[in-house]
Amino acid sequence: MSKQTVIKPLNAISEKGLNLFTEDYLIDENASQPDAIILRSFNMHDMELPSSLRAIGRAGAGVNNIPLDVCTDKGIPVFNTPGANANAVKELVITSLIASSRQMFDGVAWAKTLIGKGDDVPKLVEEGKKQFVGKEIQGKTLGVIGLGAIGARVANDALELGMDVIGYDPFISVDMAWKLSRAVKRVHNIDELFKEVDYISIHVPLIPETKGLLNKAAFDKMKDNVYILNFSRGGLIDDDDIAVALEEGTVGKYITDFPNAKTLEMKNTISIPHLGASSEESEENCAMMAAEELMEYLETGNIRNSVNFPDAALPYQGHPRVTAFHKNVPKMVSKITSEVSDVNLNIVDMTNRSYKDHAYTIIDLEGDIAESDFGALVKRLEGIEGMVTTRVIK
């Protein structure tokens, strides 16, 4: 890279991650024309994407804060960091499961009200504690919706704590299926989970298919006094419906990492200020992984852990490289390779991978190639119908 590549952080990103960027990069939070953006939960939906933007790295899991379709249309890969914050979230889920079950949040808040009561405090504590008799989780049943990096960990650890666990995930990955304890009872109909469990922890992405997944129809199928833990996204739960369920006692407690004006006022709701991934370790893991993914893409065109591009990588051995992001339609690869041979260039290695409606091709070329030959090739590639973006790396 001849000039410095500009990285714009949109949130506070762990120094450990930012420090991985070499001297070829400039970290500038005020950049107006960055090559890449690195962020956490910053909402990019209302933001105009800079014309210079070539890649986005989400230091975290959820990407509902990023306009994925717009990025795909513009040929901008969005990366995330699968699993890098999963332990942090799991620890907070398990903590909250036990703490809410033992009425600890309410008890702790009540204890604060005793400030100023002087020597009466110990006596008031002993008299008042009967309001906060809780339940142990051992022997109870937990339902885990979504058995990905977080859900699988929560399910396995809940078993270790003596719970019975029912899991639901129609799209579970092979990797996660291997990691999940065989003692987790998997159901293929979410209603079976609803009717059996004492606690529900939801660990799915917020996408159109999951919006409002826990709503009146779902609450109506649950046992009375079920506890709901939401460390995924606020939009997964229908706020109006859960408000009613909390009033009526169908839902006994709602523990949310995503409070809003409505939930803050709801009965029996524990509000946590989105702390799931806020541990030093997780912030470092996510930032480092996002930085590595961005650098690999910017320097070699290889794609790892993108949510809108296919994973595609060729070992980078210094050959001049051309990458193309294009529509996933028949004959694309043959059109690309025939343009390469028409300008008398020889292919050393190539890969083509597809994801949904798009595909990504990496081609390594032989020899020293004149600037003008590259120019001619790129022009021809860009003329192919269905081509979105091309890049030359040398």
Ligand X SMILES: O=C(O)C(=O)COP(=O)(O)O
Ligand Y SMILES: NC(=O)C1=CN([C@@H]2O[C@H](COP(=O)(O)OP(=O)(O)OC[C@H]3O[C@@H](n4cnc5c(N)ncnc54)[C@H](O)[C@@H]3O)[C@@H](O)[C@H]2O)C=CC1
Instruction: Among 89, 144, 163, 332, indicate the residue that binds ligand Y (CB under 6 A).
Output: 89
143 binds ligand Y (CB under 6 A): no
* Interface map 35-54 toward ligand X (x if CB under 6 A): -----xx-------------
Separation CA 187–CA 205 (nearest Å): 19
User: What residues form DSSP beta bridges with 251?
Assistant: 226
149 binds ligand Y (CB under 6 A): yes
Report CA-CA distances (Å) from 316 to 131, 234, 301, 322, 393.
64, 42, 9, 12, 10
210 binds ligand X (CB under 6 A): no
Instruction: Among 18, 56, 61, 226, indicate the residue that binds ligand X (CB under 6 A).
Output: 61
> How many helices and strands, by DSSP H and E, does the chain display?
14, 16
Count of residues engaged in binding ligand Y, rule: CB under 6 A: 34
SS3 of residue 299 by DSSP: helix
- Quick one: 40 or 321, whose CB is closer to ligand X? 40
To ligand Y, the closest distance from the beta carbon of 282 in angstroms equals 8
Q: By CB under 6 A, what part of segment 246-275 binds ligand Y? A: 257, 274
233 binds ligand Y (CB under 6 A): yes
SS3 of residue 74 by DSSP: helix
* Interface map 35-64 toward ligand Y (x if CB under 6 A): -------------------------xxx--
Q: What is the largest CA-CA distance in the chain?
A: 91
To ligand Y, the closest distance from the beta carbon of 265 in angstroms equals 21
Alpha helices in 76-188 (DSSP H): 86-101, 104-112, 121-128, 149-160, 174-179
- 8 Å CB contact between 238 and 230: no
User: What residues form DSSP beta bridges with 362?
Assistant: 323, 351
To ligand Y, the closest distance from the beta carbon of 142 in angstroms equals 15
Separation CA 194–CA 214 (nearest Å): 10
SS3 of residue 353 by DSSP: strand
Instruction: Among 48, 209, 371, 385, indicate the residue that binds ligand Y (CB under 6 A).
Output: 209
Residues in the chain: 394
Instruction: Among 85, 141, 256, 323, indicate the residue that binds ligand X (CB under 6 A).
Output: 85
- 8 Å CB contact between 85 and 282: yes
Separation CA 372–CA 366 (nearest Å): 15
Name the residue with tokens 């409505």.
Answer: 262
User: What residues form DSSP beta bridges with 352?
Assistant: 361
Which entry of ligand X, ligand Y, none binds 209, CB below 5 to 8 A by partner kind?
A: ligand Y
62 binds ligand X (CB under 6 A): yes
Separation CA 376–CA 191 (nearest Å): 59
| HEC-encoded secondary structure of 162-185 | CCEEEEECCCCCHHHHHHCCCCCE
Which entry of ligand Y, ligand X, none binds 197, CB below 5 to 8 A by partner kind?
A: none
78 binds ligand X (CB under 6 A): no
60 binds ligand X (CB under 6 A): yes
Give the pair of three-digit tokens for residue 127: 């008299």
Instruction: Among 4, 181, 268, 278, indicate the residue that binds ligand X (CB under 6 A).
Output: 278
> Near ligand Y by CB under 6 A, which window of 15-23, 81-89, 94-102, 261-269?
81-89
To ligand Y, the closest distance from the beta carbon of 205 in angstroms equals 3
- Quick one: 108 or 207, whose CB is closer to ligand X? 207
179 binds ligand Y (CB under 6 A): no
User: What residues form DSSP beta bridges with 365?
Assistant: 347
Which entry of ligand X, ligand Y, none binds 41, CB below 5 to 8 A by partner kind?
A: ligand X
Which entry of ligand X, ligand Y, none binds 326, CB below 5 to 8 A by partner kind?
A: none
Interface residue list for ligand X (CB under 6 A) = 40-41, 60-62, 85, 276-278
Interface residue list for ligand Y (CB under 6 A) = 60-62, 82, 85-86, 89, 145-151, 168-173, 176, 203-206, 209-210, 231-233, 257, 274, 276-277
